[in-house]
Amino acid sequence: DQQVKQNSPSLSVQEGRISILNCDYTNSMFDYFLWYKKYPAEGPTFLISISSIKDKNEDGRFTVFLNKSAKHLSLHIVPSQPGDSAVYFCAATGVSSGGYQKVTFGTGTKLQVIP
Amino acid sequence: IAGITQAPTSQILAAGRRMTLRCTQDMRHNAMYWYRQDLGLGLRLIHYSNTAGTTGKGEVPDGYSVSRANTDDFPLTLASAVPSQTSVYFCASSEVGGYNEQFFGPGTRLTVL
């Protein structure tokens, strides 16, 4: 049961345009959401996050939107740059029954920004 | 050392052999994690540790064991490797409590034949 879903495995965008990466989740107990970026042969790195009590968080060119009623979040990158080409993982978190910070990752979306 | 290091970078292993993947962090994070990344499945948690001396099972713990003798090191052991354990393995660490970002190592690519 995939609780965090990224239904688009890949996305191509022209440089300078907006990139929109989508993520859906099923567990209403998730209360914090993160986006990680991963380049080939490297580990994921944290990009931006949002608490479930907010609907938007912005950091430079990156904005994450959260729609709790739809259990949907999206990452907007404006303007897109070739260096943004990477795999983006959506993640949702909450405290597990075992007391650890349980993070559930999506399957990733590969973004290609075309110069 | 800066951040998290993993060793080896890659390994080809015969089925049935024992293998330990090493992970070391220098950020003094109490929490550490092991994930595997498989195509189409994202990152799945194998084991975690909230502090030295304690460990716990994640989503896919079968066939793996971990230990946490000190804050910095969190080795992952495959006692008898099987081909389904072919994957890329990532170690991560974070502050405990709240919803803190995890810092990932560069990964170990393991192939079990």
Chain segment B73-99, per-residue pLDDT in tens: 999 999 999 999 999 999 999 987 657
How big is chain A by its Cα radius of gyration, in Å?
14
| Region A54-73 average pLDDT | 97
User: Which of A74-106 are b and which e, b meaning 16 or more Cβ less than 10 Å from the residue's Cβ?
Assistant: bbbbeebeeebbbbbbbbbbbebeeebbbbbbb
Residue located via tokens 């910070």: A101
- Name the residue type at position A1: D
Contact A109, A13 (CB under 8 A): no
CATH code (residue A99):
2.60.40.10
Selecting from A41, A43, A102 the residue whose C-beta is nearest the C-beta of B104 gives A43
Give the residue numbers spanning the domain of A57. 4-114
pLDDT digits over B21-35, tens only? 999 999 999 999 999
What domain count does chain A have? 1
Under DSSP, is residue A84 helix (H, G, I), strand (E, B) or coil?
helix
Q: What CATH number did the domain enclosing B80 receive?
A: 2.60.40.10
Choice among A30-34, A83-87, A99-103, B20-24 with the minimum mean pLDDT: A99-103
Chain A interface mutation, best of B4, B32, B101, B103, highest count of A Cβ atoms under 10 Å: B101
Q: pLDDT at residue B36 above 70?
A: yes
Residue of A nearest to B41 (CA): A107
Average pLDDT, chain A: 93
For the segment B66-78, the average pLDDT, to the nearest whole number, is 97
Span A29-33, mean pLDDT?
A: 89
Which residues lie below 8 Å from residue B42, measured CB to CB, with a gap of 6+?
A: A4, A6, A89, A105, A106, A107, A108
A64-93 pLDDT tens trace? 999 999 999 999 999 999 999 999 999 998
Residues 6+ apart with CB under 8 A from A23: A4, A5, A6, A33, A72, A73, A74, A75, A90, A106
- Give the residue numbers spanning the domain of B102: 4-112
Taking the Cβ of residue B46 and every Cβ of chain A, the question of whether any pair is shorter than 8 Å is answered with: no
Q: Using the structure block, give the residue that is written with the tokens 């081909």.
A: B83
